[in-house]
């Protein structure tokens, strides 16, 4: 007579048996899956929002370009403020690869709505002389009025940066402001300039007008230069010696776009911290699943005993409860991934960002769900498989 062998459970049978335990306890299943869902949703949303923010920064960086360099005076050997030569801009324009160069010079004056406002109340607005090419070099735009031209650059006319106009409470041209010790007419208001935020907070007058009316000495304090993309590093190396041949060490050269790149990198570092919080939430969810499965084993001892008495092996009992744990975790993980993607999309739309959810984050979330379900269900499954059929059936 052939030896009796226990029936083997197919994949469909395993899923059916595992799902049966979930269908009989919907409220408990929902609460247990909720913990997993919160952890996964947090991780997906954190990665998605961070990636969307970083993508927005990188797109802005691509749009603004990385070929803008700024030159400013450093410190002398004796620790004093250095000074750029008055001919600096013309010298920079002679460098091969330079497309355009312009400059601003700090003016010792304040700008106010009226002469009745105390001179100390500056509102954080700087007064600067500007060359006509500044707007082209910075690729800026005038949102109201016009930029300085050959005529207005010699007269008491001023163009306000976006932030300066806001702080002065001005939204149109033709009005006058008290600049230095006389009235200047506002002829233009600029739009935002992400690569030159100092311009946004400035009142800009022509070099000739600044020398004529504001005692400006003609020395630039910042030179803005754009070159061909392939020539940026070469030009960067030539600028100090070109601007100040005798003291190149007193010249500082920087690239404003580096600040945006650093901001994008910082967003990635902040993501790591928030991911840790999501991992903690996922861990708590895993503990909830494990607790649910342990209680399920205790409540279903008679069921386990009955199955064992009908020939189910310990391995089949382990598989049943492990499958139930994995299904519970997968349910929570899937809901969490959908919630995280929805949160990312809504947040990105609210901030006019591109919605970016890396594929690896979804894969990592599913892997985390599977791992959590495995570890959470391992102990309850082993415990269930070791119950003796007679003991389980006689348990009240």
Region of residue 372 (left: phi > 0; alpha: psi -120 to 50; beta: else): alpha
Phi and psi for 293 in degrees, rounded to 5?
-70, -35
Q: What is the DSSP string of 200-239?
A: HTEEEEEHHHHHHHS---S--SEEEEEE-GGGHHHHHHHH
Q: How far is CA 347 from CA 43, 175, 195, 338, 360, in A?
A: 15, 40, 25, 14, 20
* pLDDT < 50 regions, the chain: 1
Alpha-carbon distance of 189 to 174, in angstroms, equals 11
Q: What is the 3-state secondary structure (H, E, C) of 90-101?
A: HHHHCCCCEEEE
Q: Supply the pLDDT for residue 293.
A: 72
- Is the Cβ–Cβ distance between 10 and 274 less than 8 Å? no
What are 148-175's pLDDT values in tens digits? Answer: 999 999 999 999 999 999 999 998 999 9
Q: Supply the pLDDT for residue 44.
A: 85
Q: Supply the pLDDT for residue 394.
A: 65
Alpha-carbon distance of 351 to 359, in angstroms, equals 22
């Amino acid at each position: 007579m052939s030896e009796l062998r226990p029936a083997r459970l197919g994949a469909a049978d395993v899923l059916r048996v595992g799902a049966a335990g979930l269908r009989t306890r919907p409220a408990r299943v929902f609460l247990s899956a909720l913990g997993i869902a919160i952890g996964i949703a947090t991780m997906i949303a954190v990665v998605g929002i961070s990636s969307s923010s970083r993508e927005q920064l990188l797109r802005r960086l691509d749009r603004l370009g990385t070929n803008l360099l700024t030159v400013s005076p450093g410190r002398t050997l004796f620790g004093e403020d250095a000074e750029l030569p008055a001919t600096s801009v013309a010298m920079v324009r002679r460098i091969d690869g330079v497309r355009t160069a312009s400059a601003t010079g700090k003016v010792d004056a304040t700008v106010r709505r009226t002469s009745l406002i105390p001179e100390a109340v500056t509102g954080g607005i700087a007064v600067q002389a500007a060359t006509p090419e500044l707007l082209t070099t910075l690729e800026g735009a005038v949102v109201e009025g016009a930029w300085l031209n050959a005529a207005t650059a010699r007269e008491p006319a001023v163009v306000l940066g976006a932030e300066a106009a806001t702080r002065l409470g001005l939204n149109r041209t033709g009005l006058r402001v008290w600049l230095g010790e006389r009235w200047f007419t506002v002829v233009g208001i600029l739009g935002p300039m992400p690569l030159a935020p100092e311009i946004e907070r400035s009142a800009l007058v022509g070099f000739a007008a600044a020398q004529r009316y504001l005692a400006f000495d003609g020395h630039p304090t910042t030179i803005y230069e754009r070159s061909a993309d392939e020539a940026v590093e070469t030009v960067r190396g030539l600028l100090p010696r070109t601007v100040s041949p005798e003291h190149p060490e007193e010249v500082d050269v920087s690239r404003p776009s580096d600040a945006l790149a650093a901001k994008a990198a910082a967003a990635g570092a902040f993501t790591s911290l928030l991911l840790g919080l999501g991992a903690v939430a996922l861990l708590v969810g895993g503990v909830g699943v494990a607790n649910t499965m342990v209680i399920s084993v205790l409540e279903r001892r008679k069921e386990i005993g009955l199955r064992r008495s009908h020939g189910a092996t310990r391995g089949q009992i382990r598989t049943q409860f492990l499958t139930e744990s994995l299904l519970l975790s997968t349910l929570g993980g899937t809901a969490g991934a959908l919630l995280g993607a929805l949160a990312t999309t809504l947040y990105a739309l609210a901030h006019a960002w591109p919605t970016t959810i890396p594929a690896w984050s979804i894969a990592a979330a599913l892997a985390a769900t599977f791992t959590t379900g495995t570890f959470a269900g391992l102990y309850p499954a082993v415990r269930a498989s070791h119950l003796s059929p007679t003991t389980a059936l006689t348990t009240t």
